[in-house]
A and B are shown apart, each in its own frame.
Chain A
Amino acid sequence: MHTTEARLDRIRGFAPPRPHNARTIAALTSNPGCARRAIMDAAGVDKARVAAHAGFRAPFGQSQFAITRGNAFEAQVKADGCAELLRLLREQLHLPIPEVSYDDLEYFGGERRSHEARHARTRALLGRAAASGDDAGTMFDHPMLTLEVGGRRVYLEPDLIAFRLRDRFHVVEIKSFAVIDGQADGGKVAAAVIQSAVYVLALRQLMEATAAAPPDIVADEVILVCPENFSNRPVAALLDVRKELTVLQRQLARLERIEDLLDTLPADLTFDLEADEAGVPRRPPGELAEAIRVVPARYAPECLSSCEMCFFCRDEAQGETGALGRDVRDDLGCVEYVPTALALARGEAEPSPEQAEAAAVLRLACRLRSESLPGGEGPPPAAGRWPGEEALGEAV
């Protein structure tokens, strides 16, 4: 019997697993119904490389201007033992902060440390701080947390953990999108909030593991720090992450049941790129694409902004009403394929019993459209114009 880990390794192939971070864990909640994504993320597959080799390079990329700006802003907030941040917490959030010390967990003992070493030190320091009744607070910079995700240990680096603000640990997230007149982009804040929730979860697990304090010593409010208006001055906001914690916990629990999904897949399935010594992928792209298609996807246009496989899955979904949008498929009575919907609308196809109601709506829509357009509906479908129409014939 193969273990889950071994099976996932087989699917990934020889490449090392892409390390998870808070962003990728948070992304587990962005399309939980997609088996393809679930398997690839669980196995640590480099989705961008696989997509590129299959002929569908992902459109994502980050501008160095954005990266530079983000780093500069974070450095500014943390400078001088987090002086700016402390001022924010005191003045804006009115958090009563006694004297605060600063601990950098990335460099200690004079040198840069490994993940394990940093995590061990983080555990020790945070555990000690939690158990002590001391009034003083600490800013923990570059802490290293862990989380069990799909059976694998993941290392996570929150920006900062602030301690003993109202007797609690608060996760601090520094982002470089602006807060203008008290408002920020809802999607970006949502992403920051769910990433922070990942850290809160990890920190609570750490408290449980060290038994230093009950897990609720970690506040379910995180501190988001962003630039204010058009300047570089930071502004802070408290955000409640309870909802996101619920969602995350549920999705992580589902990930634990990845074997159920694996059981449905052939044992020899692999997305390995068969790279040669120079690292150049040698696997025939068509074969890779076939392997990918074995695992069903749940494509929606929203994937275009959140998953590196989006172009591959979109191409595969051509002809599906879902590719036009979840609401469009809904409006077409959940009929799955475009040619089917049109055939039903024109009365050219007999609807199955399940399609009867949708067909009635579509026929009415088609009639109304013809009546309302000056020239009627438009030219009848040209034969063979639609790729794969023959293959979809039986779906009608």
Chain B
Amino acid sequence: MLIVTAVSLVYVQLQIQIFDFAYQGKKREKAITHLLDTNSEVRSKICLLQSANHLGVKLLDENSKASLKFLSRDQIVQLSMPMVSKIEQASTVKRDKNQNLLANFFLLKSQAEAEPIR
């Protein structure tokens, strides 16, 4: 009888905890939803700002202050980095990696990178 009572109490306690976590989870979910909504709002604003219609009115319209025009291929110049500096850059990266060899050894994962939410 004692065992049954004890097991029942444990069961009730676990159920209370489950519901407590569920309430907490709901609160956190609300906060995350709010952040996602803000993110969605910002993304839609970015969409608007980078749209051809918006940029066109801002930059290409005759009435706009910028009054930019499409350039012909002859008017476009590509600035290129010389080959030497590229090799130098590559070797610097390699050297840095070697210096951090000991640190890298103890690292389980590569450096975390932030990713946009899709």
Q: Do A and B bind each other?
A: no
- Residues of B that sit less than 8 Å from A by CB: none
| A residues neighboring B (CB under 8 Å) | none
